[in-house]
Amino acid sequence: MRTALILAVSALALFGAVEAAAQAPQVNPTIRQPGWKAPRTSWGAPSLEGYWSNATLTPLTRNPRLTPKATLSAEEARQIEKVWAKALADSDAQTDPDKSTEQLQAEFGQSELVKIRPDFAAAGGDVGGYNTFWIDPGNHIMEVNGEFRTSILTTPNGQFPPRKPGAPSAGGGFRDAYDSYEYRGLGDRCIMGFGRNAGPPMLSNGYYNNSYRILQTPDAVVINVELIHDNRIVRLNSKHRTDGVRPWMGDSIGWYEGDTLVVETTNIPQGQALAGSWRNLKVTERFTRVSPTRLNYQFTVEDPDVWEAPWGGEYNFHPLNGVIYEYACHEGNYALPAILAGAREAEKQAAAAAAAPAKAAKGKKGAP
């Protein structure tokens, strides 16, 4: 009897605890709660360590076709996420084998997927993009401090500021460069990832491999980037190099301000230019743990020779459900030889076509 009574009381207590938890207000992990203290490393620095992801449906710049607003309500954000999920599913559906490539591309250009993400239309270039089954672009609008953001950029209009007269071109310049593999993009050559995943600034590329691992020592912070398996090394309490060497991902030094890791990067190489900026480019990043499951990331970009004013952005890293494995890039194993061989064949055909009229005229002149 006593045992039964104890079990009954325990069951009631458990039921009461579950009911109370269900009725308790949900804590938003993007908002730092009063009294919450960020974890510390064994030597006392704020701990940023772990596996993180910045995959998000929110684009770098605001898409005015969707909204001119800087933020959305929770209901608006969820509605866009539903439309996005359906658009991905529709794009992943089996294609009609009786339709031509031109017909399929035209239909894709008018799809809901392209309305939400216009860059998807050109992602695959002349041969079409990946089947959406193989991509992991993120399924949620980015929420920062309780706000659903419509762009990662935090400028008033969600766009880059005006460029100064005479500023270098913002284009990559390698799309139609076929003279040598040395002129192809860094992604083609497996040197750096596309989309600035490694940064700085570190940005979601909107397609896949948006995962990171952060490790800390008393003297450095290492950010392992999934795409191309890059490793950014931030030297703590140091000074920028003055030897003129510009390493990939630039020369990053860092220091702690309270719970925040501040990283300043200069000496970025020309091959990794940001919208044409590199020589005097400076990027300042701030990493701050705001809850057990969110790492806030802010960045500011400055180049007095390129933009009229500094600009920047903000997003939250969320935990990665898993670990990062080695990214064995093999883009150039077959693609680069094929690209260059195709260019040589195109040149041969163009030369033959140009010579044809002269050859025909010569034949006519020598005819009896």
Residue 343, both tokens: 């260019």
- To the nearest 5 percent, what fractions of the chain are helix, strand and coil? 30, 20, 50
Q: Is the pLDDT of residue 212 over 90?
A: yes
pLDDT digits (tens, 9 = 90+) for 47-97: 999 999 999 999 999 988 778 999 999 999 999 899 888 888 887 777 788
pLDDT for 365 equals: 63
Residue 121: Cβ within 10 Å count: 17
Is the Cβ–Cβ distance between 149 and 58 less than 8 Å? yes
DSSP run (H or E) holding 115: helix 112-116
Provide the pairing of β-strand 251-257 with 230-236. parallel
Confidence of residue 158 (pLDDT cuts 50, 70, 90): very high
DSSP structural state of residue 208 = S
Cα distances (Å, whole numbers) of residue 142 to 46, 112, 135, 223, 330:
24, 20, 18, 21, 31
pLDDT band at 301 (very low <50, low <70, confident <90, very high): very high
Rounded to whole angstroms, how far apart are CA atoms 246 and 197? 18
d(CA 203, CA 321): 19
| Residues 218-266 pLDDT 10s | 999 999 999 989 999 999 999 999 999 999 999 999 999 999 999 999 9
Residues 6+ positions from 259 with CB-CB distance below 8 Å:
38, 46, 288, 289
Q: Which residues contact 138 (CB under 8 A, 6 or more apart)?
A: 55, 56, 57, 58, 204, 206, 210
Quote the pLDDT of residue 124.
53
Neighbours of 330 (CB within 10 A): 8
